[in-house]
Amino acid sequence: MRTDLCDWFGIDVPIFAFTHCRDVVVEVSKAGGFGVLGAVGFTVDQLETELQWIDERIEGRPYGVDTVIPGKYEGMGETDPAKLEAQLRASIPQGHRDFAARLLDEAGVPELPQEEQSDRLLGWTLATALPQIECALSHDGVKLIANALGTPPPDVIQSIHGTGRKVAALCGSAYQALKHKEAGVDIIIAQGHEGGGHTGEIGSIILWPEVVEAIAPTPMLAAGGIGTGPQVAAALSVGAAGVWTGSIWLAVKEAMGAIAQKESYLSATSRDTIRSRSVTGKPARMLRNRWTEAWAAEDSPDPLPMPLQGMVTLDMVRRTHQYAEKAQEVAFNPVGQIVGSMNQILPARDVLSDLVDGYYDALERLQSLSADS
């Protein structure tokens, strides 16, 4: 399973694990993969704390940080975080806030203590992502900065390259992949329709070879619906230089999610997800529940553009995280269609090992077919 990316980063297998949990980053990287910490949702101070914690435990292994600088969002052009936040807050209709609050109240989700209530913008814009990137670049162990939405601005790519790091960016089409390549992105992550979180319209098995052909020789990481060794083998067979995984780490032993949230994933089938704009303003795949259904109803307000909708729903994300046992019917549970195969809680190291073992099992099966012929 060794590809050029193994040599680039000094890793054993080209399996990248996106997660918002520092423990998962450490365990995956120590086991020979490459952990990537999602920075959205962290203040710079909180991110610094997370990265210091990782540095102290990762035993010198490399890891990455994922930020979000969308190619298009409300407030583009304003680079002062305080001014941008004030501008955006003034643009949010009170009716959207009232609608979100009513859904939570009807579901019986308690309010947060007054001192914990906030709609502060954490990520989702250039102004708020730049300080996160600067924080990440101050840590020697961070070898990759990934952007989850859109092509990073040229000066951002240049500044990252200037420190000797690599830049990655996600895409959902060959057109977007070419834009990334032309901008100087080092690794293109092609995420198919099946993937969790923000994802496009094209299925993985169609998207991956299209992107490989379009951007060659730039390496592509395959994403969207990868949770088993045979799926890793399928990705590499069409030209991927590795895989970018996310959903399968949501229910591992080290994941910070509450037991109630993990149980929601374990009990779900592949038919229980939906792409919805109800949380971030852009289509993102998550578990279908009363929250997603309410925002899709004819008499509901239309979700606002990014990042306005995220500011509306931040209270929901925090309250349903804090009171998960009471809140799963209105919680934000981002996950891909691979959720139907997530049936038990395992240590992250075991999940990585299963991916590798399953990959080799798939290769042996293919080789046996060739021998039989």
Per-residue tens of pLDDT for the chain, all 373 residues? 899 999 999 999 999 999 999 999 999 999 999 999 999 999 999 999 999 999 999 999 999 999 999 999 999 999 999 999 999 999 999 999 999 999 999 999 999 998 888 888 888 999 999 999 999 999 999 999 999 999 999 999 999 999 999 999 999 999 999 999 999 999 999 999 999 999 999 999 999 999 999 999 999 999 999 999 999 999 999 999 999 999 999 999 999 988 999 999 999 999 999 999 999 999 999 999 999 999 999 999 999 999 999 999 999 999 999 999 989 999 999 999 999 999 999 999 999 999 999 999 999 999 999 876 5
Question: Which DSSP symbol is given to 59?
Answer: T
Closest residue by Cα to residue 185 from 243, 148, 146, 221: 146
pLDDT for residue 372: 60
- Provide the pLDDT for residue 1: 87
Are residues 149 and 282 in contact, defined by beta-carbon separation less than 8 angstroms? yes
> Which residues have CB under 8 Å from 98's CB, separation 6+?
none
Residue 120: its pLDDT value, please? 85
For residues 202 and 172, is the Cβ–Cβ distance under 8 A?
yes
> 242: part of which helix (H) or strand (E)?
strand 242-245
Of 247, 77, 221, 66, which Cα lies nearest the Cα of 149?
66
Would you state the pLDDT for residue 373?
56
Q: Which two tokens stand for residue 241?
A: 């230089």
DSSP single-letter state for residue 165: -
CA 348/CA 367 separation, integer angstroms: 29
Nearest to 223 by CA among 252, 254, 245, 247: 245
CB 19 within 8 A of CB 6: no
User: Starting from the edge strand earliest in sequence, which strands make up the sheet with 273-276, in order?
Assistant: 197-198, 284-287, 273-276
Residue ranges, CATH 3.20.20.70, the chain: 1-73+124-256+344-373
CA distance 365 to 343: 24
Write down the CATH number for the domain with range 1-73+124-256+344-373.
3.20.20.70
- The C-alpha atoms of residue 78 and residue 125 are separated, in whole angstroms, by 9
